[in-house]
Amino acid sequence: MFANRRKTILFSNNNKPKNLFDVDALAFINLAGITSSAEKTAIDNLYKNLKGVGAQNTVHDFYTNLTAFYPFAGGKASSFIYNGKNPSASNPYNLTFAGGVTYSTNGAKFNGTNGFADTFIPQNAMQRNLNGFSVYFIENNARSETQFGHLSRPSFIKTNIGYTALKQWNGADKFSGGVVGTTIYTNINGLTRVNRSTSPNYRVYKNGIQTELVTAASEANTDTTTFTIGSIRLGDTNGTTFYCDKTICYAEISNGHSLSAAQELIYYNCIQQYQTEQGRQV
């Protein structure tokens, strides 16, 4: 009896450190109803990395400068809707899905014909020079589509991430006329991030490495219609088109802030760790 009691005391008073979750990560986990221990760990590490206190990032506070980011964790629509920045049920940038979208632990799979998610982030909220946005998806099939974006018409002021059938990047912020990158990509999947630090230069990063430097003169825009994931929003009709057929695992937008080339690589490593811990990395 004494021995059993001693074992109980030793167990209850062990000195092993407890794994303390980041407070915002825990809020997201509870809000999204995440039950998988692997997903909980991945989410916690994502928040710590974004805040500069993780394994991939010990310096930069990306989290503060994000307007919205979508972890696509939990494997169901009710968990995919939440904005990871300041997570709450009343966050104005929580997603609403429409059309053909299926949900799994790999992410949100859009059907390529009518599926999309509304971010409720209006185009006119985007600052003209300092901004960035990204999307991470799995499939490598090329087709004319948009994974994230907005298009004001008839002015053709465009902010998007998309690839043509030739696997060329297409899209820039608030410009007149189309801008198509010159690089032909062997792989389009993984993380694509578009970053403007000064007008008129826009840099395109694939998996943390700059692949394009394009010129797109920024313009003022009063369009109040919103960005979508899985399609491009048409400002004149509030409709959507150029639907993608990809499984999207992460998306974000940063308004009023820009990243250096060194920061872009660190940011990618943060997102890649998040995907790797869930077995959906490319």
Q: How does pLDDT run across 52-67, given as a tens digit for each residue?
A: 999 999 999 999 999 9
Q: How far from the centroid of its chain's Cα atoms is residue 153's Cα?
A: 25
Residue 172: pLDDT band with limits 50, 70, 90: confident
Q: What is the pLDDT of residues 178-198, one digit of tens each?
A: 677 888 999 999 999 999 887
Nearest Cα neighbor of 134 from 77, 217, 214, 62 is: 62
The pLDDT of residue 86 is above 50:
yes
Nearest Cα neighbor of 127 from 252, 214, 216, 255 is: 255
The CA–CA distances, whole Å, from 119 to 9, 35, 74, 252 equal 51, 25, 18, 10
- pTM passes above 0.85: yes
Sign of CA dihedral 33, 89, 42, 122: positive
Centre a 10 Å sphere on the Cβ of residue 17 and count the other Cβ atoms it contains: 5
Which domains does the chain carry?
66-276 (2.60.120.200)
Q: Which residue has the tokens 């899905």?
A: 97
Residue 9: pLDDT band with limits 50, 70, 90: very low
* pLDDT confidence of residue 57: 98
The pLDDT of residue 258 is above 70:
yes
Residue 204: pLDDT band with limits 50, 70, 90: very high
Residue 63 burial by CB count (10 A; 0-12/13-18/19+): exposed, middle or buried?
buried
Q: What is the DSSP string of the chain?
A: -HHHHHHHHHHHT--PPP-PPPHHHHHHHHHHT---HHHHHHHHHHHHHHTT-SSS-SS--HHHH-SEEE---SSSHHHHT--SSS--TT-TT--EEESSEEEETTEEEE-SSS-EEEEEEEGGGS-SSSEEEEEEE------SEEEEEEEETTTTEEEEEEE-TT--EE--SS-BS--B-SPPPS---EEEEEEEEETTEEEEEETTEEEEEEE----------EEEESSEEETTTS-EES----EEEEEEEEES----HHHHHHHHHHHHHHHHTTT---
